[in-house]
A and B are shown apart, each in its own frame.
Chain A
Amino acid sequence: GEDVEQSLFLSVREGDSSVINCTYTDSSSTYLYWYKQEPGAGLQLLTYIFSNMDMKQDQRLTVLLNKKDKHLSLRIADTQTGDSAIYFCAESIADSSYKLIFGSGTRLLVRP
């Protein structure tokens, strides 16, 4: 079945890089997404990658996709305290509606 797994918590020091990992099960995924959720707020689209790509870079964000292992990662360079939030990995399933299947979210805490 469709499932997306993430580690629950990551703590880094300000200025370091953060790497958030995600694994998924559905090989028919078309796009894989990273969303950010700050306390009390909605889901902010950070970046996404098409399943035939293996890397995408967007300013401080780098997404790596290993399709063979069904592993996705999000690297945040020079992590800032404002990056503290919950990060959700999601896959878009190539079925009738391209619904998103979300992971449980990784809470990133950036220590000053």
Chain B
Amino acid sequence: EPEVTQTPSHQVTQMGQEVILRCVPISNHLYFYWYRQILGQKVEFLVSFYNNEISEKSEIFDDQFSVERPDGSNFTLKIRSTKLEDSAMYFCASSERGGVGTQPQHFGDGTRLSIL
């Protein structure tokens, strides 16, 4: 069964450094998402992406964050100048379509980001 893959599984970075989290969504999916889960807290929506542009972003997704689909397969989340509070599990998700008749989102196994 096709799946969403995320790399790396664990990233350790010094505070202030930039990190790029990578995701390969399921190949025929068109809608892409990033979520994060701080330890012990809820899974929170960060951003959605469709047709090569952001369709919605949360309050968390400030100027420190950016997303990109650099080619036909990868979907990346960049965090500039990381802070301690960015430590979390970051999940990528994709769905075949959204809107009326939306299809379920399938999640990757996540990248655990640890900021030192």
Contact = CB atoms under 8 A, between A and B. Distances in A.
A104 B42 contact: yes
B55 A97 contact: yes
Counting chain A residues whose Cβ lies within 8 A of the other chain, the interface size class is: 20 to 34
B107 A99 contact: no
A51 B93 CA distance: 21
Contacts of A99: 33, 45, 48, 56, 58
A42 B107 contact: yes
A32 B58 CA distance: 20
Interface residues of B, number: 27
B56 A43 contact: no
A1 to B, nearest CB: 12
A43 B98 contact: no
Interface of B: 6, 31, 33, 35, 41-45, 48, 50, 55-56, 58, 91, 93, 95, 98-99, 102, 104-110
23 contacts: A30-B102, A31-B102, A33-B104, A45-B105, A45-B106, A45-B107, A48-B104, A92-B102, A97-B31, A97-B48, A97-B55, A97-B98, A98-B31, A98-B95, A98-B98, A99-B33, A99-B48, A99-B58, A100-B33, A100-B93, A101-B45, A102-B35, A104-B41
